[in-house]
Amino acid sequence: MTALFLEVYKTVGKRKEEEGLGEATDYAVRMHHVTKTFGKVVANKNVDLELKNGEILALLGENGSGKTTLMNMLSGIYFPDHGEIEIHGTPVTIRSPRDAFDLGIGMIHQHFKLVDVMTAAENIILGLDGKTTVNRKEINKKVGELASRYGFETDPAKKIYNMAVSEKQTVEILKVLFRGADILILDEPTAVLTPQETKKLFAVLRNMKADGKSIIIITHKLNEVMAISDRVAILRKGEYIGVVETAATNQAQLTEMMVGRPISLAIDRPKRECGEERLEVIGLTCLNGEGVKTLDNVSFTTYSGEILGVAGIAGSGQKELCEAIAGLCPTIAGSVLYSGECEGENCVSRERILGLKPDEIVKKGISMAFVPEDRLGMGLVAGMDMTDNVMLRSYKNKKGFLVDRKTPKNVAEKLIEELEIVTPGVETPVGRMSGGNVQKVLLGREIALSPSVLIVAYPVRGLDINSSYRIYDLLNEQKKKGVSVIFIGEDLDVLMELSDRIMVLCGGKVSGIVDPREVTKEDIGLMMIHVEEEVPVCK
Amino acid sequence: MQVKSTQVKEPLLRMVKRDTLSPRKAWGIRGIAFLLSLITGGVLILILGHNPFLVYKAMVVGSWGSSTVIHETVKLAVPLLITAIGISFAFKMKFWNIGAEGQILVGAVAAGAFGLFTAHIFPKLPLVILMLFAGMTAGGLYGLLPAVCKAKWGTNETLFTLMLNYIALAFVKYLMNGPWKAPGSSFPKIAMLVPGARLSKVLGVHWGWILALILVVAAYIYFNKTKQGYEIAVVGESNNTARYAGINVSRVFTRTMFLSGALCGLVGMLQFAGADYTITEGTAGGVGFTAITVAWLAKMNPIGMLGVSVFIAMLERGANTIQTNFKIPASASDLLIGIILFFMLGCEFFVTYRLIFRGKEEQHA
């Protein structure tokens, strides 16, 4: 009874304080009972969210739990069906991104919205009111000052198309800061960054926090949540689960709140059978459009029944390596030899597959599966349904002029069942599915080819815990079947737990192939930036 | 809280993408749009001092009232339909072929080369087949040109095909004034096709209409059931994905544009040998552009194109009738067509999106 009275008393007191003082409220943002539906889908249901002044709040949730939708309502992209939003204690209506800017809210989206042919500074001032003439020198100076204040490394006069992903992200953040935002929302900012870049970003975020900015960071990487945030708010299936102090929680508790049940975080590494040689890559060299070597004399061998991890800073030649082997990227030197499975005495002789187009490789009877980094831009057709996507790699197998949709439809239905793909049906365009499900379709299709070589590039990027572990399991299953798996990864922890061997790339060169059980993460980190006894080539 | 929430105002009007819309509702919206276009057009007619009901009736009677006018309407619909199918081949792979006009003219000229100068050598059937192949090959090659350049050097197909239209037009003018000028004629024109070589009529219209109907079915099957149709769709969605899947993108470009151009060339041949019996600057007559509207309105569906092309042919035919019957100027009847098409194209917005007015959300949710 007393406790209840106390509770009521507290609430009343708190409310009085807010109403009376307005500006002096502790909260930069308060969202109260916010609901948003898309057709029949409820993206957010009665969600409450509070962001204190000068704190970093992590918004945690699995894919499709409504994190981005909630934040889009704050930044004026969506308008809530119900609920109230208060900014610094004042109820507001945010009808457009413009309104959000006026309230000091700035969002950095997962997909950057920059004009490629303009410089960083030009992008930053784009859309701002100002004089008819642009004084580039002055703006560059201003942007430079702002950047150095928070510890960003950027060149305001650099064109966007010359920038790496992390640099583009910096420009996006600067753009928001330049407009005077004091509430920043970052949607999965680390999804595109290397461990080193992530550290840098976090340092910058801490500087901003010290400067009095309030920050919401959307993520589902638990170690990052622990590293950067003050408090964690958790969403599950569009509903608000609760908020906890980061210091008073641990990864296991957060996982349980996020997924709804406790799950193990250890990755399995089944014992590797001594396999036979599968792919031999010798002296592979690639040039990009500007004549710079993206791959430089890369040599390695893969074996059946193993997972070869490939580590390296983003843009160290991973993409080119995959595409060169898959027949999508022209090379200037080297060769790739494929040795097929031996059936008794019958060994498929070593085939040179470099320079062959994907369909020519298939014609040789070599089943090579490739899960590219760009899932919807290369691996799948976003506007087509699952059936049409499943037959993308196999439609040529049937003789004749007409396509056969029955077999792929059956495969699609089987994939939905086996991989627990969430979709209204095989007729739904894959572009409408969530990231994890899209990846399951892609990986599922490639595995359905029963490949002998499986190349996967960043297969868990942007995926939630559940989906990620499902993907690891699938890769291990393939390994047990004797498939030679090449796994291009970015999370060193995962690479070290999953791979049998790790090849480290640096500036297009192989800086070493190591056994993950015998080296530390730091060793690999060093290899990522140095090639033996050479001046560091990577920045 | 209650007091404060009055300050919080919803926007007056919001645009929300519809999730799915039942076909019945979608057609309801199109029906309403059509009615509204008739009303708006009616106001225009009233201002011109005529009775809208009588004018509309005249349009319908003028296009469907007797077998003679039905023949005329079908004659207008056939080139529109075949051209629309032709360009939809290219449009499906996001290759913006706006050069149908040129491909039609080139097809007509190639057919004319045989029709006008070898009619005395060949009997009718081989001649017609010859003209058919010549028209289709010429149109196809004319369509191939921008495709090869795009595949090889990445040229812009929109500008390229548009410019080819003018080249074809200038070439026809040159033929009219020079080498193909009809003997004994005082002004520039090309001679008429001899009656013996003209296309036979089936039910009053040259047999092109049967061919058009066959093409509707053939194109539908090609797009939806064949490997090549599937390849076109993949290339249209993403060149990268196509390469990844082992599709030879350049080959799909060239093959599809040849087909696209060939169908347009076929139209040229049909117009020459079945409708006009000669070649003029007006042989294409804007069909290549109107067909773009047809293809889009039908959302690249050949069966839809059949309906749309007949509808547009009816409007054009009807507009002709009211010009003579009511002395309505040509510009005004064109305006009437414009109004109707504007509403029909505009209503597609309401099929994809819905508008929410302030405070009306509850009823929808």
| Chain B environment of A38 (Cβ under 8 Å) | 19
Predicted confidence band at A506 (pLDDT cuts at 50, 70, 90)? confident
The ranges of chain A annotated as CATH 3.40.50.300 are 23-259, 305-329+355-529
Per-residue model confidence (pLDDT) at position B138: 97
Say if the Cβ atoms of A81 and B10 lie within 8 Å.
no
b/e burial code for range A286-298 (CB count within 10 A of at least 16 → b)? bbeeeeebbbbeb
A3-17, A233-247, B67-81, range with the lowest pLDDT: A3-17
| Chain B environment of A84 (Cβ under 8 Å) | 1, 5, 8
**Higher confidence at residue A22 or residue A214?**
A214
Sequence-separated (6 or more) residues with CB below 8 Å from residue B189: B176, B181, B182, B278, B280
Q: What CATH topology corresponds to A305-329+355-529?
A: Rossmann fold (3.40.50)
CA distance A154 to A119: 11
Residue A82 has pLDDT above 90, yes or no: no
Reading phi first (left if > 0) and then psi (alpha if -120 to 50, else beta), residue A400 is in left
Give the pTM: 0.77
Angle at B251 between CA B245 and CA B257, to 5 degrees: 120
Helix runs in A67-119, H state only? 67-74, 97-102
**Higher confidence at residue A132 or residue A167?**
A167
CA distance A175 to A181: 9
CA distance A393 to A367: 11
Residues A379, A348: contact at Cβ < 8 Å?
Answer: no
Residue B343 has pLDDT above 60, yes or no: yes
Interface test with B, best of A395, A407, A441 (most B CBs within 10 A): A395
**Chain A: nearest CA to B139, how far in angstroms?**
24
| Chain A environment of B233 (Cβ under 8 Å) | 381, 384, 388
pLDDT > 90 in chain B, percent: 67
Per-residue model confidence (pLDDT) at position B244: 92
Helix runs in B179-286, H state only? 208-225, 227-237, 239-244, 249-270
Report residue A56: phi and psi, to 5°: -110, 115
Of A359, A381, A401, the CB nearest to B238: A381
Q: What is the pLDDT of residues A18-37, one digit of tens each?
A: 444 444 568 899 999 999 88
Measuring CA to CA, which residue among A241, A236, A257 is closest to residue A43? A236
Q: What is the pLDDT of residues A269-299, one digit of tens each?
A: 887 776 788 889 999 999 887 778 889 999 9
Which strands make up the sheet holding A41-52, listed edge to edge? A90-92, A82-87, A27-38, A41-52, A239-245, A231-236, A56-60, A214-219, A183-187, A105-108
Residues B345, B297: contact at Cβ < 8 Å?
Answer: yes
Average pLDDT of the segment spanning A75-83: 88
Interface test with B, best of A18, A36, A44, A79 (most B CBs within 10 A): A79
Per-residue model confidence (pLDDT) at position B9: 61
Mean pLDDT of chain B: 89
CA distance A260 to B58: 70
| Chain A environment of B238 (Cβ under 8 Å) | 377-378, 381-382
**Chain B: nearest CA to A95, how far in angstroms?**
6
Residue with tokens 């439609």: A395
Per-residue model confidence (pLDDT) at position B93: 92
Per-residue model confidence (pLDDT) at position B91: 95
Our separate counts of H helices and E strands in chain A read 17, 22
| Chain A environment of B5 (Cβ under 8 Å) | 84, 91
CA distance A333 to A327: 14
Mean pLDDT of chain A: 84
Residues A58, A233: contact at Cβ < 8 Å?
Answer: yes
Predicted confidence band at A501 (pLDDT cuts at 50, 70, 90)? very high
Residue A13 structure tokens: 């007191």
Q: What is the DSSP letter of A106?
A: E
What spatial distance separates the first Cα and last Cα of chain A, rounded to whole Å? 64
The CATH number corresponding to A23-259 among 3.40.50.300, 1.10.3720.10, 3.40.50.1000, 3.30.1510.10 equals 3.40.50.300
Whole-angstrom CA distances from A305 to A281, A294, A383, A485, B361 are 17, 29, 35, 8, 57
| Chain B environment of A93 (Cβ under 8 Å) | 8-11
Say if the Cβ atoms of A395 and B227 lie within 8 Å.
yes
Say if the Cβ atoms of A359 and B247 lie within 8 Å.
yes
Q: What is the pLDDT of residues B173-210, one digit of tens each?
A: 999 998 898 888 888 889 899 988 899 888 888 999 99
Contacts 24+ apart (CB under 8 A), A397-404: A401/B226, A401/B227, A401/B228, A402/B225, A402/B226, A402/B227, A403/B225, A403/B226, A403/B227, A403/B229, A403/B230
3-state secondary structure labels for all residues of A257-317: HHHCCCCCCCCCCCCCCCCCEEEEEEEEEEECCCCCEEEEEEEEEEECCEEEEEECCCCCC
Per-residue model confidence (pLDDT) at position B334: 85
b/e burial code for range B132-151 (CB count within 10 A of at least 16 → b)? bbbbbbbbbbbbbbbbbebb
Mutual angle of helices B287-297 and B302-326, in 10-degree steps: 130
Q: What is the pLDDT of residues A328-345, one digit of tens each?
A: 888 888 888 888 766 555
Other beta carbons within 10 angstroms of residue A367's beta carbon come to: 17
Q: What is the DSSP letter of A379?
A: I
